[in-house]
Amino acid sequence: MPDETLPQPARDEIELVTVLRALGDPVRLRLLAVYADDQEHNCDQCDLGLEDLHKSTVSHHMRVLRESGVTTTRTSGRNRFVRLRRADLDARFPGLLDSVLGAAER
């Protein structure tokens, strides 16, 4: 079965308000910090440092990030790999991602 990219907004469809709202949540901001390395990540809570949350809750937050345009998700077998859409975000909202990541690391 070939890999597949889950539904997500095109670069020009990414909206500032939606992105800001997506990032305006402590859990999703934690996820963003994990994704800051521009590597692919699966959905394992242990890796994500979210062991306190139910897996369906994590799934919900990852969907919000994807549908807002912050991340992209690739399917491979029964795993899903999530990655930051840094190029798209930088093109659409220059400087935004860097400043948020810088502030989130604190």
Which residues contribute to the site for DNA (CB under 7 A)? 1, 21, 25, 27, 42-44, 52-64, 73, 76-80
Q: Which segment (4-12, 19-27, 59-67, 72-80) binds its own copies by CB under 8 A?
A: 19-27
84-103 binders of its own copies (CB under 8 A): 92-96, 98-100, 102-103
Other Cβ atoms closer than 10 A to 75: 14
**Candidate list 3, 17, 52, 78; residue touching its own copies; CB under 8 A:** 17
CA distances from 52 to 45, 48, 55, 58, 101 (A): 9, 11, 9, 10, 23
42 binds, among DNA, its own copies, none (CB under 5 to 8 A by kind): DNA
The CA-CA-CA angle for residues 89, 90, 93, to 5°, reads 75
